[in-house]
Amino acid sequence: MGVVHGDLMTLNIGPQHPSTHGVLRLKVKTDGEIISEVEPIIGYLHRCFEKHCENVSYEQVIPYTDRCDYIAAMNNNFGYAVTVEELMEIKVPERVEYIRVIVAELNRIASHLLALGAYGLDVGAFTPFLYMFRDRERILDLFETLCGARLLYNYIWVGGVSHDLPPGFIDAVYSFLDYFEPKIEEYNELLTYNKIFIERTGDVGVMPPEVAVSYGVTGPNLRGSGVKWDIRKNEPYSIYDKFDFDIPVGAGKMGTVGDCWDRYYVRMVEMKESVKITRQALKGIPTGDVHQALPKKIRPPQGSIYKRTESPRGDLAYYIVSDGSPIPYRLKMRSPAFTALSVLGEISQGWMMSDVLVILGSLDIVLGEIDR
Amino acid sequence: MSEDQDKFIADVVEKALQGDMDAINNIEDRVTRSKAKAALVKAKREAKAAATEDTSKSEESKTEESAPVVKSLSEKVAACLNEKFPNSLESEDVNGYIQMKDKNWFEIAQYLRYNLDFLFDSLQCVTGYDFGENEDLEVRYNLHSMTHNHAIEIRIKTDRNNPKVPSVEQVWRIGDWFERETYDMYGIEFEGHSNMTRILCPEDWAGWPLRKDYETQESYHGIVVPKVKDGWE
Amino acid sequence: MTVDQLINWLPFGTDWPVITFLTAVIICALPVFLFIAVYALVAIYGEVKISSFMADKVGPMGQGVGFHAGKWGLLQPVADALKLILKEDIIPAAADKKLFIMAPFVVFIGAFISFAALPFGQNTIIADMNIGIFYILAVGSLSVIGIILAGWSSNNKWSLYGGMRSVAQIVSYEIPAGLSIISIIMLTGTLSMQGINEFQQGTIWGILPNWIIFNNPFSFIAFFIFFISGVAECNRTPFDIPEAESELVAGAFTEYSGMRYAFFFLSEYAEMFVVSGVSVTAFLGGWNSPISGFFNSPGWGVFWFMGKTLSLVFVMIWFRWTFPRLRVDQLMSICWKVFLPFSLLNIFGVGIWILITG
C-alpha cells in the first residue's frame, strides 16, 4: 500500500445501521475502502443504571441488571446475587447453587448462539443465523417454563432463585442437550469451515494478548487471543470448582492467534463446555429449599466489595458500597462489553470497510451493557 | 409468646454464630426464620464493629482480596510504595485497600504495572465515589495481575471543588474509557488524558449525574424532564 | 417467430416503415415484459420458499379463511408487488432528481433488451441476430450505468460506496465472462445464438448429449468461469458486496423506495434469467433435449430451455442462502488472479483442441 493519501472521508456507521448490534455509532475515517480511524461513540442507550441503583433497594436492582445485558440476563442476575451474598456473608442452599449454574450455562449457550448467528449475518451468511435462532428458541422456551419470561428473567435473587424448577424441567434440559450437541457440528460444517468465512475472518482483526490485557478485554475475546483466563476456573465462584470443564483458547488455526476466527471458534467450543457443565450439574442437583431465609429488606453490613463473575462476554464485575441501609450507596458495574468495544479502534485500523463490521461482530458487544 | 420467640431467636443466632447455620434454616415458620436471619446479620455486624475500633475501617468487608495471603499483598505493595515513593500514601494503614495521594500516581501506576513482583497488567475497574454532599470525591482502582493472579484496590481522594487525578491512560489503555466514564459521572478530571470528554451522556449535558448533590436539569433541548417522585421504595 | 418474419407478415408492409417497426416492437416487447413480471413473481416466491426450506422454516403460509397470503403463501409475491406499487415514492431532497428517476429504468432496460436475443426454442426467439451472444454481453453491461447513476444521484455515502463497488465488480467480471464466451465462439464458429444451439445437436459417442460443456475439458472449465462471473454480474451472494446489507445498508439502492426499488429488484431477477439463459445456450445445449431425439420438437424446446434456465436460477438462489459474502478485494483478486488467467488459458486450450480434433 502506498503512502499517498487523498482527503479522508468521514462516514458515520450508525446509530441506525443493520449491523451495529444496537444503537452504536462508529465514526469512521476512510480512504476509499481502507479505514484509517474508527471511533466508537456510545451512550445512545444510557439509562443511568448506576443512578437508579442508588435509589432502589438491593432486591429491586435485579430487574435492572436484566436490562443491562439483555442477551444473558441470567448471568447478570447471577453475578449481582453472588456479589451481594458475599457482601452479606451468607451461603445459599446447595440446590440453589446448582439451579443457578444450570440456568447460567444455558443462558451462556443462548447468548453464544445469538453472537455466532449474528456474526454469520455480519459476514453475509443468512442461514446459520436462522439455524442458531431455532435452537436458541428452545432454551428460551425452557426459561419460559422456568420463570415465565423469555428474555428478562429476574430469576436469580439474592439468597435464592424466584421459583423452584418446574416438574419435568430436568428431563427437558437433558433432551435439549441431547438435541443440541450434534447441532454444533452442523454449524461447524455450515459456517465455521466454510472457505469464504475463513477468508473473511482468518487473519483479520488480530488482537495480540498484550493489547487485549491492556484494554481489559476479557472473556471469549481474551481467550481468542490465546490467554487461558476464565473466572470460573481461576477465581471460582458459586460451585464452579466442582465441575470438570476445559477452557478453550484460540490457537490460530486459520491464521494468526487472536484473529476474528479464533474469537468465533472459542465461543463455538465454549458451548460444548457449557453443555458439559450443565450435564454435571443436572446429575448432581440435590433436593432442598430454593430460598435462603433472609429479612424482607436486605441490609448488607457496611463495607465495599468488588466481585467478578464470568458472563458470556467476559468479566462481569459489580463494585458495591453499602452503608448499612437497604439501598446501595454506590453500585458500579464493570461491563465486559464496554472494555471489548474500546479495543475496536485499535484493532480495526488499516482494514477495509467490510472488515470493521466483521471485527465489531467478533467482539460480541451488547449495547445495553456498554451504555448501562 | 413474643418473649419466647425472642429467646428462641437469640438461641438460634448463638448457634449460627458458632457455625451451625442449619439451626436457622430448619425453622419452619417463615417469619421467625427471617427474623432470626436479620438478628444473625445484626449480631455479626456488631461483632465485627467491636473487632475493629475505628468504625471507618469496618467499611472494608471481607472480600477475596482480604483473604490472608492476598491481604498481605496489599501490605507488601504499600510497604514497597512507601519505600520507592515516600509520602505517596495517605496512610500506611492498609485494610484491604491502599489509600493514596494523587501525587506521583502516574509513576506509581507505571511501577505497579511493570514491576516484576506485582505486574498488575490489567486495570479491572475504575470507580468514582462520592462521600456525600460537601465531602470529597474518590477514585477507586481495582488492579489485577494476570500472571500472578492477585489483585489490589487503590483509592485516591480528591477535592470536590477541583477534582483532579493524574490519568493512567498511557499505562493501561482501558484507562481511557474508564476515566472518561468517571469524568462523565463525577466530573473528576484526569490530568494528561488525551480526550477528556463525556462518553455516555451527551456532550452538552449539565452536571455530574452520579454525584450525591446532582440535580436533574429542568429541560434538555426543550424536552421537559419529568419530576422524579421521592421515595421510590 | 423472429422479428423479421413478423415485419414481413404485417399488412402495412414497407409502405409505412415506421408504423410497421413500432407495431413489431410492441408486439414483441409486451409479452417479454409480461413474461419478466410473471417470472419475477415466481422467482421471488421460489426464493422465499427455497430459502425457508433451507433455513428450516416454512416461509409464507396462508392459514384459515380470509384475506391472507393464499394456499402455501402463493399470493405472497403478489402482495409484495402490490405493496411496492402502493408505497410512497420518496425522492431525497438532496438527490439529483433527473438521474435519480432515470436510474432504475436504465438498469431495467439493460436486462429487458437482453431478452431480445434469448432463444427460448427452435422458433421462439425475437431476433436471431448474427451477433446474438455479443449483443447480450454488450447490453447486459448497460445496467452498470444505471447502478452508478443510482449510487451517485442518491447523494448518500452508502449509495456511492455501493455504486462504486458495483461498477468495479461488474466491469471486472465482464472480462472473464467475455473470454470464456470467446472459446465458445471459436468452437462453434458463429456468434448467433441459434447457430450455437444448432451446433449442440446430436450426441458425443452416442451417449452424452453434444453440449459444449461436454465437448472438451476446456469448455467445461469455461462454463464455471462464465456462470460464476454471471452470478457476480447479477450482484448475487456471495458477490453481493454492492448491496451488502450488513455493511452498506442497501448499497446503491439505499434511498429508493416503492416502485423504483421494485424496478431494481425486477431487473436483478431478469438479469439472473438472462445470465442463466446465456449459460444454458452457450454450454448446456439451449433448447436441445438432454437425450438426443427425445421430445425434441420446437414446443418441447421451450420446455427444455426454461427447465435448464430455471435450474440455474435455482442454483443462484441456493448460493445465496449458503455462502457468506466475499470482501471487495478478495472479489477482485478472484477475478483478476484466478478467472482471467484461466480463461486466457482456456482460449489457448480450445484453440489447440480444435487444431487436434479438426
For C319-343, the pLDDT digits (tens) are 888 888 888 888 888 888 988 998 8
Interface test with A, best of C235, C247, C332 (most A CBs within 10 A): C247
Interface test with B, best of A218, A292, A305 (most B CBs within 10 A): A305
* A372: contact with B, CB 8 A cutoff: yes
On chain C, the residues whose CB falls within 8 A of the CB of A354 are 241, 244, 247, 325, 327-328
How far CA A17 is from CA of A337, B63, C128, in Å, comes to: 19, 43, 48
pLDDT (mean) for A88-114: 89
A41 found inside a domain? no
Set of cell numbers at residue A339? 472494555
Q: Which pLDDT band holds residue A47 (cuts at 50, 70, 90)?
A: confident
pLDDT at C300 (0 to 100): 82
pLDDT (mean) for C63-81: 74
pLDDT at B62 over 50: no
Compute the distance between CA of residue C51 and CA of residue B223 in angstroms, rounded to an integer. 46
Contacts with B, A 249-268, CB within 8 Å: none
Tell me the CATH number at A329.
1.10.645.10
Greatest C-alpha distance within chain B: 68
pLDDT at C13 (0 to 100): 63
Compute the distance between CA of residue A159 and CA of residue A295 in angstroms, rounded to an integer. 10
Compute the distance between CA of residue C195 and CA of residue C178 in angstroms, rounded to an integer. 18
* A330: contact with B, CB 8 A cutoff: yes
Q: Quick check: helix, strand or coil at residue A303?
A: strand
pLDDT at A176 (0 to 100): 92
Average pLDDT, chain C: 83
On chain B, the residues whose CB falls within 8 A of the CB of A60 are 233
pLDDT at C282 over 60: yes
pLDDT at A1 (0 to 100): 47
pLDDT (mean) for A163-169: 86
A56 found inside a domain? yes
For chain B, the domains span 2-53, 62-213
pLDDT at B77 over 50: yes
A17 found inside a domain? no
pLDDT at B69 (0 to 100): 44
Set of cell numbers at residue A172? 427437558
Per mean pLDDT, which of B17-26, C1-10, C243-252 is the most reliable? C243-252
Set of cell numbers at residue A104? 447460567
Q: Residue written as cell 514491576?
A: B115
| CB-based burial label for B229 (10 Å; 0-12, 13-18, 19+) | exposed
The conformation of residue C288, written as its DSSP 8-state character, comes to S
Q: Which pLDDT band holds residue B53 (cuts at 50, 70, 90)?
A: very low
On chain A, the residues whose CB falls within 8 A of the CB of B146 are 213, 227, 229
The pLDDT tens digits of the residues spanning B132-169 come to 888 888 888 888 888 888 888 888 888 888 888 888 88
pLDDT at A68 (0 to 100): 86
Interface ipTM: 0.84
On chain A, the residues whose CB falls within 8 A of the CB of B36 are 293
Compute the distance between CA of residue B34 and CA of residue B29 in angstroms, rounded to an integer. 9
Compute the distance between CA of residue C349 and CA of residue C139 in angstroms, rounded to an integer. 28
The pLDDT tens digits of the residues spanning B156-210 come to 888 888 888 888 888 888 888 888 888 888 888 888 888 888 888 888 888 888 8
Contact A342 B176 (CB under 8 A): yes
pLDDT at C87 over 70: yes
A-C contacts (CB, under 8 Å): 77
pLDDT at A109 (0 to 100): 92
Q: Which pLDDT band holds residue A92 (cuts at 50, 70, 90)?
A: confident
The nearest CA of chain B is from the CA of A294 a distance in Å of: 5
Residue with more model confidence, A31 or C312: C312
pLDDT (mean) for A23-46: 85
Compute the distance between CA of residue C166 and CA of residue C154 in angstroms, rounded to an integer. 15
Closest by Cα among C118, B42, C57 to A130: C57
On whether the CB atoms of residues B182 and B159 are closer than 8 A, the answer is no
**Domain B62-213 in CATH 3.30.460.80:** yes
- Of chain C, the percentage scoring pLDDT greater than 70 comes to 95
Q: Which pLDDT band holds residue B38 (cuts at 50, 70, 90)?
A: low
**Contact: chain C with chain B (3+ CB pairs below 8 Å):** no
pTM score, whole prediction = 0.81
The pLDDT tens digits of the residues spanning B65-76 come to 444 444 467 777
Question: Domain tally for chain A?
Answer: 1
* B176: contact with A, CB 8 A cutoff: yes
Could you say which of C51, C247, C321 has the minimum Cβ distance to residue A357? C247
Interface test with B, best of A52, A91, A215 (most B CBs within 10 A): A215
* A197: contact with C, CB 8 A cutoff: yes
DSSP letters for A335-360: -HHHHHHHTHHHHTTT-BHHHHHHHH
* C168: contact with A, CB 8 A cutoff: no
Rounded to a whole number of angstroms, the CA Rg of chain B reads 23
Per mean pLDDT, which of A241-245, A293-297, C354-358 is the most reliable? A241-245
Average pLDDT, chain A: 86
